[in-house]
Amino acid sequence: MSVRPASVARLLDELRALDRAYSAGHHGRWSAARRAELVDACLRDLLAEVGSSNGVALVAQGGYGRSELAPGSDIDLLILHPGADPDGVAALAERVLYPLWDAGLTVGHAVRTPDECLAIAAERLDAATAMLDGRHVSGDPATWPRVRDRLVAGIRRDPRGFAGRLRDDARERRERHGSVSWLLEPELKEGAGGLRDVHSLGWLSAAVADEPGLAGLVRAAVLRGAERASVEAAWEFLVRVRSALHLETGRATDRLFLDQQPSIARAMGFEDEPGLRAVDGLMRAVFEHARQVEHVRRLVFGRFLRAGSEAPEVEPTAEGVLSAFARVAREGVVMPAAELDGVEAAELPVAIAWTEEVREAFLRILREGERGVRALEAMDRIGLLVRLVPEWGPVRCRPQRDPYHRYTVDVHLLQALAAMAELLEGRDRAEPMVAEAAAAVHDRDALLLGALFHDIGKTGEGSHVPIGARMALAAFDRMGLPDGTRGLASFLVSEHLLLSDTATRRDLADDDLVLDVAARVGTPERLAALYLLTVADAAATGPAAWTPWRATLIRELVAKVQRVLERGEMGAETAERLTERADALRELLAGIEPAEVDRFLLRMPRSYFLTIPLERIVEHHPLVSAPIGAVEVRTLAGPGSRPGTYGLTVVAADRPGLLSLIAGALSLAGLSILTAQVFTTEDGAAVDLFEVEGAFEHEVREERWREFRNVLRRAIEGRLSLEHRVEEKRRRYPAPKVHTPVEVTVDNVASDFFTVVEVGAPDRIGLLFDVTRTLAELHLDVHLAKVATYAGRVIDVFYVRDELGRKVEEDPQVDEIRRALGARAVA
Amino acid sequence: MKLVVAIVKPFKLDEVKETLREMGVQGLTTTEVEGFGRQRGHTEVYRGAEYQVDFVPKVKVEVVCDDDQVDQIIEAIVKAARTGKIGDGKIWVTPAEQVIRIRTGEMGPDAL
């Protein structure tokens, strides 16, 4: 084993000392330059030990050439030689490089003649840019400046071509590595907005300016002073994070993985703040800097490659500035430097007032979708957006750490805006129902605003939906939006999770659930708007948020709610009535614990609260509040709607055929059924309401009610054959005189949840019993029934499902229902 | 050891998860799946537009357990996932030959 040369030993000591001299978070560009200096000194010593260099030069290139060596960076060396003595050069390279390799340093090297340098630079962009950063370290001093001059001259012959290659490279890197400005695990070096983008600005200056680096770009008027400052700041910051990452991991990794973030945040001095944890503070700063780099890089390349376009004068008012951005949004261009100068010179107040003109310009920007988003980003980068919408501040660069979201909150909001605009343009034909929904919403500004603000409440404190609703409303009020737009947009912010939460977590076969959603939504337009926002939100979240699985569930819910609204089963007015009645009931039931009243309100079907008079509901409460036994029957009789009729309520555990048992028992007890309404509670109790009259006498006495209860109980317990008894009773009386035909219809269109069976027949003893018995025999469960008698003719409507909860849709079964009921209902 | 696979209605997942956790099941895997059984697909209609839904969204729950736990787990899933209506799902059980905890290398019941 060879003895380690003193120069290399010294280098290792000094590098180690440098690493230890500062905390991991404080190795910025100064440290990086110092590291390069130490390597320079070592290389000079090594070359001196070899002796005569024979026209050979050691050239630092790449990051080493820029004097930007992070703790784990490669040392990228070019050994430049005249070409006369290849063997001698190889021997020399070995004597310089081996001690470094033996010491564990990562040294990459290329051995080239000047002509080879230029040939490879023409062929490979990375080789060309590495050499653009080249710096003579040791050996023959004359060759490298000549190579560099020829390299630069070559680039200068076609500066746009070179800039184009740099831009394409940036695009490729973005595709491969993503963006440092929002990825939770960003690639600090190669990612868009990362260090490579900073370097590429330096390389561009070789093509456009005599002065190297960012100063050259300023001189060439493609980089503005403020932009240079922000890039310099980002450069320093990103080098610090990258160096900290190398020191923390002991490896040359450039991806900032989640595991490392806490220790790096600590090393860099970030602390937990209210609403923002230290790691989020770190990532927010990474995003903020990378975003500036990305933005400035795009502007600079845009300006250079599209030079020559006229920069319009900017009127130095909020109106003028907003109009300028609305124009670049419409034209889909990058704002020229001179115009941006004009915008920044316009000394706008810290909080910009929303005049009508400002509002119109802002809305014009939103209407441009993707291009509008570019304009909003530009407004954000110069601090204009937060002055316009202060609510934007807390969501800027805010990381989101959940399995679905990929973007920061503000990027997600902008993506949602772009996605919404795309849905409205109708370009996305793949998504069913989107075109129909878009056609149903007239106020498109409200949709765009809803998308832009839906997550504005993600401030790190508390539940984001109510907070966001308040913040959005404040912003909309400041904007002075028309009432309709303001109303729809703030509705969207408040309810943006309603569809996806309900569809994935609740039972869509529950009709009352659908009614409740319909009540909250109110109108078909709002439903369509909410569906569009749900799709746009998911599209802007990431691929995991809009799976076919989720989409199917959400569409099922939307379609069901739409039909409930179309049929008028629920709507804004009905919803209001429901709320009013619930409030009135709470007052009437004031003596009862509020939680118990709420339970009652949830257990009973919505149709019950909408159709039954309040005073009767109050009477029912004690009947249904306690759990009911399997064979228990509770009844309540009172005066009916007119003299001589009685209101009867029967509560029992629901079972197949219960309605027929009650109808039969009423018949046997000598009670005629005038009307009937059947409800089923959430937990399977039947609440059946009848309007009855005595079949034989005007006044129904207590013994008749008692008889009814006895018969029903015995029937439920199976100790009495109603079929036999009712038939016997019927034969004792003459058939009805009315001879109208029996009509049976089976309707599957009227409801998403039930098959609606309607029976029209002449009234007679035991008719309802026969009809409901037939339904029970066919295993149909009656969920809701309305029975009405008009002058000797009875119209019975039943909402039924089969025992598995399905509608009856197969023809043979529908036919069987028709035939059986038709036969049984005859006199 | 056994692998218990259950297909349940999406909104029943929380109940199933809770019930299993309460009875001491340490881990389970869930997947969003689509398919059909006796509950076939259907046609959805919205504002006059029709489209066919061939598969019904469900959640698949997978639990690996010791042989003597199988019955208890099945019973718990049935209880939690049952609505009595069409599409409540299915459960099936297959033998699991080997289970390895990747972190520690533990094998068999130790890895459960």
Residue A559: list chain B partners with CB under 8 A.
Answer: 44-46
Q: Which ranges of A332-390 does DSSP label H, i.e. alpha helix?
A: 337-345, 356-367, 370-381, 384-388
Full 3-state SS string of A454-505? CCCCCCCCCCHHHHHHHHHHHHHHHHCCCHHHHHHHHHHHHCCCHHHHHHHH
B55 interaction partners in chain A (CB closer than 8 Å) = 552
pLDDT digit string (tens) for B59-83? 999 999 999 999 999 999 999 999 8
Q: Kindly report which listed range (A323-327, A681-685, B23-27, B39-43) carries the lowest average pLDDT score.
A: B39-43
B47/A505 CB distance under 8 A: no
- Indicate if the pLDDT at residue A393 is higher than 90: yes
Stretch B15-27: mean pLDDT: 92
**Beta-carbon-side half-sphere exposure of residue A619 (alpha carbons within 13 Å):** 18
Nearest to B46 among A433, A549, A806 (CB): A433
Average pLDDT over residues A7-21: 92
Q: What is the mean pLDDT of residues B1-27?
A: 94
- CA nearest to A502 within chain B: B11
Pick the residue from chain B with its C-alpha nearest to A805.
B85
Q: Cβ of A436 and B47 within 8 Å?
A: yes
What mean pLDDT comes out for the span A648-654? 92
How is residue A395 annotated by DSSP? G
Q: Which ipTM value was assigned to this complex?
A: 0.88
A555: nearest CB among B34, B44, B84: B44
CA–CA distance, A63 with A70 (Å, rounded to integer)? 9
Structure tokens at A434: 């989107």
CB contact under 8 A, B84 and A805: yes
Shortest distance between the Cα of B42 and any Cα of chain A, in A, equals 10
- How many beta carbons lie within 10 A of that of residue A84, not counting itself? 10
Q: pLDDT category, A318, cuts 50, 70, 90?
A: very high
| Residue in B with minimal Cα distance to A564 | B46
Tokens of A407: 């973007």
A364 and A403 in contact (C-beta within 8 Å)? Answer: no
Are residues A348 and A387 in contact, defined by beta-carbon separation less than 8 angstroms? yes
Q: State whether B47 and A437 contact (CB < 8 Å).
A: yes
**For testing the chain B interface, which of A556, A752, A753, A810 should be mutated: the one with the most B CBs within 10 Å?**
A556
Interface of A with B (CB under 8 A): 432-433, 435-437, 439-440, 504-509, 524, 528, 547-550, 552-553, 555-556, 558-559, 562-563, 804-806
Of A623 and A788, the structure prediction assigns the larger pLDDT to A623
Is A805–B11 a contact, with Cβ atoms under 8 angstroms apart? no
Average pLDDT across chain A, whole number: 90
Beta strands in A695-814 (DSSP E): 743-747, 755-762, 780-790, 793-802
State whether B57 and A553 contact (CB < 8 Å). yes
Which of A804, A806, A807, A809 is the best substitution to test chain B (most B C-beta atoms within 10 A)? A804
Q: Which residues of chain A are within 8 Å of residue B48 when distances are taken between CB atoms?
A: 436
Cα A379 from chain centroid? 23
pLDDT value at residue A429: 63
Please state, for a pLDDT cut of 90, what percent of chain A lies above it: 62
Distance of CA A245 to the CA centre of its chain: 31
- Residues of A within 8 A of B57 (CB-CB) are 549-550, 552-553
* Segment A680-702 mean pLDDT: 87
Q: Is pLDDT at A236 greater than 90 in this prediction? A: yes
Res A499: pLDDT:
96
Does the beta-carbon distance from B32 to A559 stay under 8 Å?
Answer: no
* Greatest C-alpha distance within chain A: 134
- Residue B86: which of A547, A559, A805 has the nearest Cβ? A805
pLDDT in tens, A412-467: 999 999 999 999 987 666 778 999 999 999 999 999 999 999 999 999 888 899 99
Q: Kindly report the nearest CA distance between residue B96 and chain A, in angstroms.
A: 28
Structure tokens at A328: 């670049």
- The CA–CA distances, whole Å, from A538 to A78, A444, A551, A800, B56 equal 50, 19, 10, 37, 20
CA distance A468 to A493: 7
pLDDT of residue A428: 62
∠A36-A42-A43 over CA atoms, to 5°? 85
Say what the pLDDT of residue A1 is. 46
With bands split at pLDDT 50, 70 and 90, how would you rate the model's confidence at A2? Answer: low
Residues A317/A318/A319/A325 CA torsion (nearest 10 deg):
110
Residue B77 distance to chain A (closest CA, Å)? 17
Q: Do A433 and B55 touch (CB under 8 A)?
A: no
Overall average pLDDT of the A747-752 stretch: 88
Query: For residues A93 and A87, what is the distance between their CA atoms, to the nearest angstrom?
Result: 10
Q: Which residue has the higher pLDDT, A737 or A322?
A: A322
| Cα A721 to the center of its chain, rounded Å | 60
For residue A402, the model assigns a pLDDT of: 79
Inter-chain CB proximity B49 and A549 less than 8 Å:
no
Contacts with B89 from chain A: Cβ below 8 Å: none
Give the number of C-alpha atoms closer than 13 A to the C-alpha of residue A521, restricted to the C-beta side.
30
H or E segment to which residue A690 belongs: strand A685-694
Q: Span A771-779, mean pLDDT? A: 93
Helix (H, G, I), strand (E, B) or coil at A670: coil
Give residues with Cβ within 8 angstroms of A734, minimum separation 6.
none
Q: Which residues of A touch B11 (CB under 8 A)?
A: 504-508
Residue B61's pLDDT is: 97
Res A308: pLDDT: 61
Choose the weakest-confidence range: A406-410, A737-741, B11-15.
Answer: A737-741
The distance of A543 to chain B (nearest Cα, Å) reads 14
Beta pairing class for A75-80 and A107-112: parallel
Name the residue of chain A whose CA is nearest to B88's CA. Answer: A804
**Of how many residues is chain A composed?**
827
Beta pairing partners, A401:
none
pLDDT at residue number A606: 87
DSSP bridge pairs for A652: A633, A686
pLDDT category, A52, cuts 50, 70, 90?
Answer: low
> What is the DSSP code string of A237-281?
HHHHHHHHHHHHHSS---B--GGGHHHHHHHTT---BTTB-HHHH
Q: Which of A159, A177, A196 is nearest to A255 (CA)?
A: A177
Nearest to A432 among B49, B84, B85 (CB): B49
Give residues with Cβ within 8 angstroms of A634, minimum separation 6. Answer: A623, A628, A650, A651, A652
CA distances from A302 to A166, A167, A356 (A): 12, 9, 32
Q: What pLDDT sits at residue A307?
A: 65
pLDDT of A827 = 64
Q: Is A256 exposed, middle or buried (0-12, 13-18, 19+ CB in 10 A)?
A: buried
pLDDT (0 to 100) of residue A189: 96
What letters, b where the CB count within 10 A reaches 16 and e where it falls short, cover A24-38? bbebbbebbebbbeb
Structure tokens belonging to residue A657 = 């055929």
List, in order, residues 6 or more apart from B91 with CB less than 8 Å away: B4, B5, B6, B7, B74, B77, B78
Distance CA A361, CA A377 (A): 15
CB contact (8 A) between residue A559 and residue B34? no
B51: closest chain A residue by CA: A432
- What's the gap in Å between the CA of B101 and the closest CA on chain A? 22
So what's the pLDDT on residue B42? 80
Chain B residues contacting A via beta carbons under 8 Å: 9-11, 14, 32-34, 44-49, 51, 53, 55-57, 83-86
Of A212-226, A283-297, A771-785, where does the model show the most confidence? A283-297
Q: Name chain A contacts of B83, Cβ cutoff 8 Å.
A: 507, 509, 805
Terminal CA-CA length for chain B: 9
Contact A726, A766 (CB under 8 A): yes
Q: Any idea which of A441-455, A487-501, A640-654 has the lowest mean pLDDT?
A: A640-654
Mean pLDDT of B27-40: 88
Contacts of B9 in chain A (CB under 8 A): 507
According to the model, what pLDDT value does residue A747 have? 92
For residue A647, the cross-strand partners are A638, A691
Residues in chain B closer than 8 A to A433 (CB atoms): 46-47, 49, 51
Which residues of chain A have a CB within 8 Å of the CB of B32?
A: 547, 549-550
d(CA A763, CA A667): 12
Residue of A nearest to B39 (CA): A806
The sign one gets for the Cα dihedral A549, A554, A557, A558 is negative
With CB atoms and an 8 Å threshold, state whether A435 touches B57: no
Question: Looking at per-residue confidence, does A310 or A8 come out higher?
Answer: A8
Number of A:B CB contacts under 8 A? 67
Average the pLDDT over A202-216 and give the result.
89
Number of residues assigned to chain B: 112
Contacts of B44 in chain A (CB under 8 A): 432, 555-556, 559
Contact check, Cβ <8 Å, B44/A440:
no
Interface probe for A, chosen from B11, B13, B17 (most Cβ of A below 10 Å), is B11
Amino acid identity for residue A34 in this structure: R
Round to whole Å and give the CA distance between A586 and A593. Answer: 10
**What's the rounded mean pLDDT across residues A380-395?**
93
Tokens coding A768: 């309802």
Highest mean pLDDT among A22-26, A47-51, A104-108: A104-108
Closest residue of chain B to A531, computed from CA coordinates? B46
Contact A433 B51 (CB under 8 A): yes
Check pLDDT > 70 for residue A732: yes
**Tokens 């400005």 sit at which residue?**
A181
Q: Do A549 and B85 touch (CB under 8 A)?
A: no
Partner-chain residue, chosen from B9, B10, B47, that has the shortest CB–CB distance to A440: B47
